[in-house]
A = this chain, B = another copy of it.
Amino acid sequence: MSLAAITPPSSSGTATPTSTSALTTAGISASLQKTAPSLFAQHGTSTPLADLDASLLHATHTTAPRAVPGHDSAETAAQRTCTDHMVTARWTLAHGWEAPELKPYGALSIMPNASVLHYATECFEGMKLYRGHDGRLRLFRPDRNAARMLTSAARIALPAFPPVELIKLVTTLCATDGPKWLPKTQPGHFLYIRPTMIATDAALGVQRPKEALLYVILACFPDMTVSASSRETGKSGLRLLASNDDTVRAWPGGFGFAKVGANYGPSLVAQGEARARGYDQILWLFGDDCGVTEAGASNFFVAWETRDGKMQLVTAPLDAGIILDGVTRRSVLELARTRLTGSVEGLAPLEVVERRFTMAEVVLAADEGRLVEAFAAGTAFFIAPVAEIHFRGKDLTVPMGADGKSGPYAKCLKGWLQGIMYGRETHEWGVVVDEMGV
């Protein structure tokens, strides 16, 4: 078993070809230390116990490989199918991290009194593995996901780990299953990557867990940029149902900023009601003045013209701790701030604003003809233009651009991001995964 390498971009921004030295744990570490030095900072483990160490990984390959479902199949749409392998690593308070294992994907054995089944001691990440048009596999900003996983773990009383070791484990699994499950002959597709940590402590006391399991799985996911309501009605765009006063997703002093299970389960009843009424997602509001926070499990952006004629891209700020620090959100903000402040592709220059904003502002902008577009942004739904928001008994129509399929800024940003993800643009955010046996 040898670890596959993440090939870092060179300092000039051009992806370097694979070198044999990169195909070792030391090679990955050296690469990441250059490109993401923050990953090597102190990560919270202050004990002399064993730390998570991807170089100790032991691999057992499946003897029963499964068939890969088609990208447009019902099986892929069900989001149930995972690839042939998974990576696991066990942690105990007494001994720290055990050697990780790569092994056949299959059921976990969990005691009925395990902490995770009672106290929601669990956190996860959402990433994707992209098969580029140049034939290479890429991750998108894995350092951001690994760092956030560490933040989430700390919030839910799960153990710390060096984020770079998680990236190595993700990379190894992608390098192992990527060649078969994302064939080179089918560029432009992706697998969904789900790093997860759960408390396996078999004890009912309401206390910090003493045992945990970190694991990574790869799932076949459909392209979710066509919304459920679109498939039903043929009309483009997301239809959002604004949350009522009696349903609040997250609260200051809570955990809305962390990717912990406790943010998701409690949203499913409202989400189910939205779907039953023909909407795609809940638009989560907060406060008596109906501040706009997130759309479903994605961040939410609106583009409008201010009354004094400035074009603005607005999204809720992170400081209240009630919304997720999304990797797509962050990337949209960074691209808009670096590439859209001047006139580009016929678009008016944008002012990019992170601030609290309310439904009243959105409604007023729409009424006055100043609303340009809105979109959700997240790993699963990517950049999803919004066509309609139902708020307090009224349907607010959101412009969907000249072609009726997307507002112009969403279209432009999505194009740039896809270019980076699928290797049309060489960029430090697109991190090449060297494939096993290739």
On A, residues with C-beta under 8 Å from B are: 78-80, 82, 86, 105-113, 115-122, 124, 154-157, 192, 194, 196, 198-199, 202-209, 215, 217, 219, 221, 245-248, 251-255, 260-269, 271-272, 275, 296-297, 380
In the complex the two chains form, is B206's CB within 8 Å of A264's CB?
yes
This chain: copies in complex: 2
In the complex the two chains form, is A112's CB within 8 Å of B217's CB?
yes
In the complex the two chains form, is B219's CB within 8 Å of A113's CB?
yes
Q: When chains A and B are docked, how far (Å) is the Cα of A96 from the Cα of B225?
A: 32
Q: When chains A and B are docked, how far (Å) is the Cα of A101 from the Cα of B251?
A: 40
Going nearest first, the 10 A-B pairs with the smallest beta carbon separation are A120-B261, A248-B253, A262-B262, A120-B120, A157-B268, A119-B264, A120-B265, A251-B251, A107-B109, A121-B265
Residues of B within 8 A of A110 (CB): 107-108, 110
Q: When chains A and B are docked, how far (Å) is the Cα of A266 from the Cα of B269?
A: 20
In the complex the two chains form, is A268's CB within 8 Å of B156's CB?
yes
In the complex the two chains form, is B120's CB within 8 Å of A266's CB?
yes
Q: When chains A and B are docked, how far (Å) is the Cα of A112 from the Cα of B213?
A: 11
Q: How far is the CB of A94 from chain B (nearest CB, A)?
A: 13
* A206 touches which of B122, B204, B217, B297 (Cβ 8 Å): B297
Residue of B nearest to A198 (CB): B117
Residues of B within 8 A of A204 (CB): 79-80, 192, 194, 219, 221
In the complex the two chains form, is B262's CB within 8 Å of A121's CB?
no
Q: How far is the CB of A243 from chain B (nearest CB, A)?
A: 8
Residue of B nearest to A276 (CB): B208
Q: A196 and B112 in contact (CB under 8 A), knowing A121-B268, A268-B206?
A: yes
In the complex the two chains form, is B246's CB within 8 Å of A266's CB?
no
Q: How far is the CB of A206 from chain B (nearest CB, A)?
A: 5
Residues of B within 8 A of A209 (CB): 268
Q: A262 and B113 in contact (CB under 8 A), knowing A79-B203, A203-B78, A248-B251?
A: no
In the complex the two chains form, is A82's CB within 8 Å of B112's CB?
yes
Residues of B within 8 A of A111 (CB): 107-108
Listed by A's residue number, 14 A-B pairs whose Cβ atoms lie within 8 Å are A79-B203, A79-B205, A80-B203, A80-B204, A106-B112, A108-B111, A112-B215, A113-B217, A118-B194, A120-B266, A206-B271, A207-B271, A207-B275, A261-B261
In the complex the two chains form, is A262's CB within 8 Å of B266's CB?
yes
